Amino acid sequence: MAKPKKLKNGEYSHRFKVKNPINGKWVDKYVRGFTAQECYDKETKAKADALIGISPERINFFSFFDLWVNTFKVGHVGQDHLNKINSTRKTLLEFFGETILLQQIDRIKYQQWINYMGIDQNRAKKTVLDKHKIAKAVFQEAIDSNYLLRNPANKIIITGRNTEGEKKMTLNLEEWKKLRDVTVSSSDSASKYICLVMMYLGTRFSEAAGLLKGDFDFVNHTVSITKAFDYKRTKQNTRTKTAGSVRTIHLPKPLESIIEAHIAKLENRRKVVSLHSPDNIFLFTNEWGHPITNAALNKYLAKKCKQAGVGRITSHAFRHAKTDLLVLAGNDMIYTQKQLGHSDSSTTLKYYSSLNNDIKDKNNKIVDSFFENAK
């Protein structure tokens, strides 16, 4: 997407294309504004205006899709989620073609698209589900905007490759403790400390990578998650995945001691990047002073899992494990949701491992105790 250009007089000029929903032709539009955001707002309005007055049955699906993205997603979600939306659009375009109308996609055609991804392309079921959720949200907005009566994405059968056996998604309590002990006893490295942070806090990798010294409050025993490090593109801290991801979470005492000692070593060696203030010290950096990559962490994890005698995992498994551990500790789902930074509890439930034997045993004991006391 083209960006607004700043003019000599301080204003911004922006050129973009608007697709006519009826004939499918693209038309160049030019707008000016005092800020880049004002130009973006005018672009969104121009695309919305292109749909006004058009009979619902004649609205092009991708024109509405793009309007939905520009109105509700751009500026409200992180780049990674925008990439997922763009990937979904690409797959929809491959299957339906650019001339498909919004009302031409019924439940049968939609299920055929799901089957195309899950069966013909042999994609993982989770990948198909993620794309389905995005597409379903587009259709729901069309209903809310009075362009559709029913959502064709309702009651769909998700197809795709079952990846449960392809990689380990979580750790039970004993595995978690073994991996923790091996990691704690390992020699110092950025991978060691970011691994321990994710184990105890269940953060996303980008959130952990972007942590600064000032984010840790050792007085109130909390960690502020307010940003995420974009190691793929800008190499800078940026917004979190969603607005709901901004949160203040509990800092467990064992991790607090580890991080305090780590910060002390960093300050003594003075081999860290400092951004104007001692509080702006990146904590988990490589030899060039940049936060390490997820690939580097996963390579480190592969070695530690082997040493600990547990199945190989990637760093994302720590979020699933954290959910299970919080449940085992007796925390309710709302607390768990807020600690993990999920926008709603349904996402937290997705992370909850219903097959975790530790949780099964705990619940079985609760039931047994209940009936014992009911005699």
* pLDDT tens digits, one per residue of 161-173: 887 655 678 898 9
pLDDT at 53 over 70: no
Looking at per-residue pLDDT, the higher value among 213 and 47 belongs to 213
The phi-psi region of residue 156 (left if phi > 0; otherwise alpha if psi is between -120 and 50; otherwise beta) is beta
Task: Report the distance separating Cα 295 and Cα 310, nearest Å.
Answer: 19
- Give yes or no for residue 300 having a pLDDT over 90: yes
Share of the chain above pLDDT 70, in %: 89
Is the entire prediction scored with pTM above 0.85? Answer: no
| Predicted pLDDT of residue 86 | 94
Per-domain boundaries in the chain: 1-54, 76-166, 173-364
Contact 153, 114 (CB under 8 A): no
Alpha carbons 316 and 194: distance in angstroms, whole number: 12
Helices marked H in the chain: 36-51, 61-72, 79-96, 107-115, 125-144, 173-184, 190-201, 205-209, 253-269, 294-308, 317-328, 333-340, 345-351, 357-373
CA distance 139 to 64: 9
Q: Residue 75 CA to chain centroid, in angstroms? A: 15
> Could you tell me whether strands 247-250 and 222-225 are parallel, antiparallel, or unpaired per DSSP bridges?
antiparallel
Task: Give the tens place of pLDDT for each residue, 96-147.
Answer: 999 999 999 999 999 999 999 999 999 999 899 999 999 999 999 999 988 8
276 or 362, which is more confident: 362
pLDDT at residue number 20: 64
Task: Give the model's confidence band at 23: pLDDT under 50 very low, under 70 low, under 90 confident, else very high.
Answer: low
User: Is the predicted pLDDT of residue 16 greater than 70, yes or no?
Assistant: yes
CB under 8 Å to 23, separation ≥6 — which residues?
A: none
The mean pLDDT of the chain is 86
* pLDDT for residue 77: 82
Residue 297 has a pLDDT of 95
**Phi/psi of residue 115, each to 5°?**
-65, -35
Angle of helix 317-328 relative to helix 190-201, nearest 10 degrees, comes to: 40
Assess whether pLDDT exceeds 50 at residue 275.
no
Architecture of domain 173-364: Orthogonal Bundle (1.10)
- Which pLDDT tens digit goes with each residue over 181-236? 999 999 999 999 999 999 999 999 999 999 999 999 999 999 999 999 988 778 88
Q: What is the CATH number of domain 76-166?
A: 1.10.150.130
pLDDT at residue 356 in the model: 67
Q: CA 103, CA 220: separation in Å to the nearest integer? A: 54
